[in-house]
Structure formats: structure tokens, C-alpha cells
Structure 1
Amino acid sequence: MEKIQIEIGDVVRMKKPHPCGSHEWEITRVGMDIGLICKGCGHFVMMPRVKFNRMVREKL
């Protein structure tokens, strides 16, 4: 799978849904870790870039 070029403010769709049911996340931080905010409930998470690259489906 090719790497997706991401920037702050992009919205991505992940493989697994958040417990609130939303698959869509907004990127708030880019670096070794990726900061994400759930578009459904507003929950903030930090994820290592390697895990993010495995979990992301598409850039919306």
C-alpha cells in the first residue's frame, strides 16, 4: 500500500471505527506521532506514525 501524504487539517478514514461509531478523523499534529481528533465525538488521540500508516484507509 502506498503512503498517504498528510497535512494538518486533513480528514482521513480509518480501518476500525472509534467506539462512538465514526471512521473519520481530523489530523492535528504531524511528526513521529500523529495527533487525531475524532469527527464524531471530538476525542483526541496520539498514534505512532507506523501504526497510523497501517490503520489509515483513505484521505477524504
Structure 2
Amino acid sequence: MDINVGDMVRLKKQHPCGSKEWEVLRSGADFRLKCKGCGHQIMIARRLLEKSIKEIL
């Protein structure tokens, strides 16, 4: 899966703030994502992210 810094992704499950859209801030073995609803940042493993992505916007 080709995911680059600056891409917007929609995940299958929503964040507790209600948003499903995330911005990719860092890519590699791990990804840093920023929630577009509340601004919360998370680190997630590539394998888990690829499994939970619904679409790349």
C-alpha cells in the first residue's frame, strides 16, 4: 500500500471525537497520524494501519 506524508486516510472505526479522517505526518515502519477532528496524534504500526484503512482520500 502506498501511503505518503500529507495523505488523508479514512479508517474503518471512528475516533472517540467522532472523526474517521486522519492526516499522515510520518511514514515508515510506524506511522504518525493526526486526527482531523480534535488534533490528537497517535503512532501506529504499518501492519495495523494497512488493515484498518477504508480509503485514501
What TM-score results when the alignment is normalised by the length of structure 1? 0.92
Identity of aligned residues (%): 51
- 5+ long unaligned stretches in structure 2: none
Q: Which runs of 4+ in 1 moved over 4 A?
A: none
Partner of 1:11: 8
Q: Is residue 58 of structure 1 aligned with residue 44 of structure 2?
A: no
Structure 1 stretches of 5 or more lacking a match?
none
In the comparison of the two structures, how many residue pairs are matched? 57
| Mapping for residues 1-60 of structure 1, pairs under 5 Å | 3=1, 5-60=2-57
Q: C-alpha root-mean-square deviation of aligned residues, in Å?
A: 0.5
Instruction: Provide the TM-score with structure 2 as the length reference.
Output: 0.97
In structure 2, distance between residues paired with 1:34 and 1:58: 16
